[in-house]
């Protein structure tokens, strides 16, 4: 058995390293190990076992908006428990350094898992019946207040100079 060989955790059949799912069970494959446990792959392998292959098809679509990294990771965990893989993307228009957990995130799922993910989040009451998307009202209000402050500073500056 080679170091990169994969095995099905369900039926124990070996597969080449370029395959992702078992031919028989359609379960995600894990690294085969000889005797000792592979620490680097154990967490990844356990996560991969939870993912259902039917929810991995299609391009990524946004399923919900999270206000910060912690909330987004909580949602990811809920989705993974249902077999739906997900990834996080920093919401467009918010300039927060990548090293910070602050700032909104979009939780993205494959198109085939969108309906299931939406249902899970509706049951948990984490999303409204109709998803409003990015909080446009908050962004517009921030821009309006900023514009008003800049206008006030410009007015005061022209009065003092003129």
Helix/strand/coil (H, E, C) string of the chain?
Answer: CCCCCEECCCCCCEECCCCCECCCCCCECEECCCCCCCHHHHHHHHHHHHCCHHHCCCCEEEEEEECCHHHHHHHHHHHHHCCCCCEEEECCCCCCCCCCCCCCEEEEEEHHHHHHHHHHHHHCCCCCCCCCCCCHHHHHHHHHHHHHHHHHHHHHHHHHHC
Dihedrals phi, psi of 147, to nearest 5 degrees:
-65, -40
Predicted pLDDT of residue 69: 87
pLDDT at position 1 is: 43
- Homologous superfamily assigned to 55-131: UreE, C-terminal domain (3.30.70.790)
Label the pairing between strands 6-7 and 105-110. unpaired
**Are 72 and 105 a contacting pair, CB within 8 Å?**
yes
* Gap between the Cα atoms of 126 and 71, Å rounded: 10
Query: Which pLDDT value is given to residue 44?
Result: 65
> Does this model's pTM top 0.75?
no
CA distance 138 to 123: 26
Instruction: Note the pLDDT of residue 3.
Output: 57
Instruction: Show me where the domains of the chain are located.
Output: 6-50, 55-131, 136-162
Residue 25 Cα to chain centre, angstroms: 26
Q: What is the mean pLDDT of each run of 10 residues along the chain (162 residues)?
A: 71 85 83 57 68 89 89 92 90 69 87 92 77 66 91 89 74
Burial 104-134 (b: 16+ CB within 10 A, else e): bbbbbbbebbbebbbebbeeeeebeeeeeee
User: What pLDDT is attached to residue 159?
Assistant: 87
Q: Give the pLDDT confidence score for residue 128 in this predicted structure.
A: 66
Instruction: State residue 32's pLDDT score.
Output: 77
| pLDDT in the model for residue 152 | 92
Q: What's the rounded Cα separation, in Å, for the pair 62 and 69? A: 15
């Amino acid at each position: 058995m080679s170091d990169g060989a994969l095995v099905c955790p369900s039926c124990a059949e070996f597969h080449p390293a370029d395959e992702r799912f078992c031919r028989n069970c359609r379960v995600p494959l894990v690294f085969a190990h000889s005797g000792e446990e592979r620490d680097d792959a154990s967490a990844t392998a356990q996560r991969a076992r939870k993912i259902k292959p039917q929810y991995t098809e299609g391009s990524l679509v946004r399923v919900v908006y999270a206000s910060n990294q912690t909330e987004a990771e909580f949602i990811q965990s809920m989705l993974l428990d249902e077999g739906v893989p997900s990834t996080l993307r920093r919401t467009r228009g918010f300039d927060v350094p990548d090293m910070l957990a602050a700032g909104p995130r979009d939780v993205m799922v494959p198109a085939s898992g969108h309906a299931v993910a939406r249902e899970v989040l509706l049951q948990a009451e984490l999303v409204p019946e109709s998803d409003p998307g990015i909080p446009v009202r908050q962004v517009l209000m921030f821009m309006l207040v900023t514009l008003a402050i800049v206008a006030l500073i410009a007015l005061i500056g022209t009065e003092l100079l003129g």
